[in-house]
Structure 1
Amino acid sequence: MTARVAVLLVGVALAVAGCAAADPDPTAAPPAATTSPSAADPAATDPPSTAPAAPTGPQVVATGLEAPWSIARSDDLVLVSERDSGRILRLAEDGRAHEVGVVEGVVADGEGGLLGLAFDDEGRLYAYSKAAGGNRIQRIELTGDPAAPSLGAAETILDGLPTSNIHNGGRIHFGPDGMLYASVGDAGDPASAQDPSVLGGKILRMTPDGDPAPGNPDPATLVYSMGHRNVQGFGWAPDGTMFATEFGQDTWDELNRIEAGGNYGWPEVEGAGGEAGGFLDPVQQWTTPEASPSGLAIVDDVILIANLRGSLLRAVAVADPGNAVELHRGEFGRLRDVIAAPDGGIWILTNNTDGRGDPGPDDDRIIRIDLPAVG
């Protein structure tokens, strides 16, 4: 069934035939989006196969999305999740986005709903969503034409994850080790982030079937790292180093270098200053109004971070993660996700229609930019 989404194929955008991570607290009102001129997985481990072309300026790939949350690619298939509707859309070469199906049992309230999407190396689809019994991760069959599939049977591989109308985490990616990683927020219970027996406030690492992955810090559990408030973006540099973004409460948002078994301090500490207590400090931090970092991708040794309240894209060199370049501040409004495009550029996903932004007539959108040079 064709969705109500108009997709504009501009130049290299959606050249898929050639192609092969919670919001700020509800009490914190986001600034209105502006249209000022620009200042300047996907959490993928493999860099684009094509070098970026000379800068051509932002190009619109898709318009009319409704509270989109995640983009995932597998070969020539590009899918987008919509948080509130529970729909998964396919971006196609015919100039439209088509509804692949609706994930059954999704409960959309507050920051919960249909969140992260990911493909494994066999092209199987996984989805993180809120259901009546808590947050869950499902493996969902794709049926019919591989280039234009429909949603089939869903197998829940992990359920009962802590849930709330805030701080649901929700990002999922397969790592370079072939294991599935998932970020789970503290679900409004800060103390749970320091309780190793509770999966809230953690990054989890599991097999594709949802079992504890071999080599986990505690082989009996899914917990990979702890002391997180609400991680919504993570990815791996070419050398295997893992980075993740994290929402702070009122003071500091963070970019962290993730270590197996690491404790990142929440709620005992927010931002830097926890090393004396045995916690790992962020490699970079920002005030919450200028950041609220969501999706993250690493492409060609550049960490790219989509920011909601900050309404900008940050680019950070893996080799110097303490510095950042700010791009497109206020130009597109709130940004939810970022992903490597099939042509060597970058796609950024706006998030102005989820009740906290100031949507324009074409929102929400996917916009293509060139891979920025940093460092």
Structure 2
Amino acid sequence: MLAAAALLLTAGCSSDGGGSPGDGGSASPSDPSARSSSPGPTARETPPAKGSVKVVRTVATGLSTPWGLAPLPGGDLLVSSRDEATITRVDGETGERTELGEVPGVSPAGEGGLLGIALSPRYASDHMIYAYFTSASDNRIVRMIHDEDKPAGERLGAPDTVLRGIPKGVIHNGGRIAFGPDGMLYAGTGESGDTGLSQDRESLGGKILRLTPEGEPAPGNPFAGSPVYSYGHRNVQGLAWDGEQRLFASEFGQNTWDELNAITPGDNYGWPRAEGRSDDGGFHDPVGQWTTDEASPSGIAHAGGSVWMAGLRGERLWRVPLKGTEAAADPQAFLEGEYGRLRTVVPAGDDRLWLVTSNTDGRGDPQDDDDRVLELRVS
């Protein structure tokens, strides 16, 4: 790993990108049974040391507390609103918005509310949308049918609870969900401010979880009968797979280091006993680490051989070129301060990304057009 990935700047407490306390090895394929057989990338697959980012267009403006984004077949986008608890369809060409409806049971407060969303792998036939949200008692994952034939505002069916009991707090609610290449549902959770939960494998807090689409512990998980896939996390809000089906995750640090991790099933990522790289051989060290005022990372995406990481407090998009599960070159920062806080980044094609800003979340400085969805061309 490159020591240069550690950016030696003044540290600050990493909340969900604000100034108050809060969320500020090798990986394996998503099928744990294949962890020793997956080939690494060849030399020609190593991305160049220097990349580029071009803002192609602004897709949508005027969004309120956007958090999750899920591309629909055909090019439109679904966007969740953390505080309004709504899911909105954005026309991928015109930016026209149509509200699907409000998700019942959401209890927005602090960093909690309606967070990540994902489409079922069988969306073409089941029209199912999955959502991670904070309720009055916990964080949970539900699924709802998207009925496009209903009137605007009434297109979400009654939620079916997939998983409940994820610890909630004013801070550190995690919230990113994604279906992996194996068809299983992955969820990044936070420790809700109770640091001891991260090392407790009986708790769902401070973990990456791997579930069947119905919410059961996925076959092949490292701990029998448990949804826990990895532990020792503080607050995971970014999940992405590379071309070899290796999972990467972003994680908020506290006062010193934010992290990009390559995830190995069953490994311990150290929190609260370690933040960033550690001399303790029992903890899995990050691929890269950043001071909290430079990152406070939320969503990540993989494109062009690099992980692209959205920074909240850092107000920039980081590129981390990869060779296998290590950094192939120093990380690069793009869009620094140009669009404010950056929340979510999602692949939009081989060299394209969707990028969601987060300036209306109570910690940003919203401009007239905030919040926005941008289309980027990257290399």
Q: What TM-score do the two structures reach when normalised by structure 1?
A: 0.83
Gapped regions of structure 2 (runs ≥ 5): 1-14, 25-51
**Match of residue 68 from structure 2:** 70
Q: Is the 8 A contact 1:213 1:219 kept in 2?
A: no
Tell me which of 337, 353, 363 is aligned to 2:370. Answer: 363
Q: Match for 2:363: what amino acid?
A: R
Whether 1:85 and 2:84 are equivalent positions in the alignment is yes
Contact 1:265 1:274 in 2 (8 A): no
| Partner amino acid, structure 1, of 2:312 | L
Matched, 1:352 2:353: no
SS in 1 for 2:161: strand
> Are 1:98 and 2:102 counterparts?
no
* Consecutive unaligned residues in structure 1, runs of 5 or more: 1-21, 32-53
Tell me if the contact between 1:30 and 1:356 (Cα under 8 Å) persists in the aligned partners.
no
Question: For residues 145-160 of structure 1, what are the structure 2 equivalents within 5 Å?
Answer: 145=149, 150-160=155-165
CA distance in 1, matches of 2:284, 2:248: 13
For 1:284, the aligned partner's letter is: G
| Structure 1 residues 1-375: aligned runs within 5 Å | 23-24=16-17, 27=20, 57-76=55-74, 77-92=76-91, 93=93, 95-123=95-123, 124-145=128-149, 150-276=155-281, 278-319=282-323, 320-321=326-327, 323-341=330-348, 344-371=351-378, 373=379
Please report how far the alpha carbon of residue 159 of structure 1 lies from its aligned counterpart in structure 2 after TM superposition.
0.8
Identity of aligned residues (%): 49
Q: Structure 1 residue 28: deviation in Å?
A: 5.8
- Three-state SS of the structure 2 residue aligned to 1:303 is strand
Letter matched to residue 136 of structure 1: R
Question: What is the rounded CA distance, in whole Å, between the counterparts of 1:364 and 1:343 in structure 2?
Answer: 25
Contact 1:84 1:114 in 2 (8 A): yes
Give the aligned residue type for 1:339. Answer: V
Q: 1:268 to 1:237 in 2, by over 3 A?
A: same
What secondary structure is seen at the aligned counterpart in 2 of 1:369?
A: strand
Q: Output one character per residue of 1:305-326: Cα deviation in whole Å (capped at 9) or x when no partner.
A: 0000110001112215263111
Structure 1 residue aligned with 2:45: none
In structure 1, distance between residues paired with 2:23 and 2:199: 29
Change (3 A) 1:157 1:317: same
Report the equivalent of 1:11. Answer: none
- CA-CA distance at 1:133 after TM superposition: 2.2
Which whole-Å CA distance do the structure 2 matches of 1:233 and 1:25 have between them?
18
Q: Deviations over 1:288-321 (max 9, x none)?
A: 0011000011123221100001100011122152
Deviation at 1:27, TM superposition (A): 1.5
Question: What do the CA deviations read for 1:329-375 (whole angstroms, capped 9, x no partner)?
Answer: 0000000001122584212100000110000000000112212x2xx
Deviation digits for residues 214-239 of structure 1, max 9, x if unmatched? 00001210000000000100111010
Structure 1: distance between partners of 2:288 and 2:221 = 26
Give, in whole Å, the separation in 1 of the partners of 2:270 and 2:55: 40
Q: Report the Cα distance in structure 1 between the residues aligned to 2:117 and 2:318, rounded to whole angstroms.
A: 22
Shift of 1:55: 7.6
Paired with 2:151 and 2:257, the residues of 1 have a C-alpha distance of 43
Shift of the 55–171 alpha-carbon distance from structure 1 to 2, 3 Å rule, reads closer
Who is 2:46 aligned against? none
Check whether the contact 2:134–2:168 (CA below 8 A) recurs between aligned residues.
Answer: yes
CA gap of 1:302–1:349, structure 2 versus 1, over 3 A, is: same
Partners of 1:24 and 1:194 lie apart in 2 by 24
In 2, distance between residues paired with 1:251 and 1:80?
32
| Pair 363,29 (structure 1): closer, same or farther in 2 beyond 3 Å | farther
In structure 1, C-alpha distance between the alignment counterparts of 2:171 and 2:22, rounded to whole Å:
14
Q: Judging changes above 3 Å, is the alpha-carbon distance between structure 1 residues 227 and 25 closer, same or farther for their aligned structure 2 residues? A: farther
Question: Which region of structure 1 is more displaced relative to structure 2, 294-303 or 214-223?
Answer: 294-303
Once the two structures are superposed, what CA deviation does each residue of 1:129-154 show, in whole Å capped at 9, x if it has no partner? 00112000001111133998811121
Distance 1:91 1:146 in 2: 17
Say if 1:25 and 1:249, in contact at 8 Å, map to a contact too: no
What's the secondary structure of 1:152's corresponding residue? coil
Q: Which position in structure 2 is the counterpart of 1:38? A: none
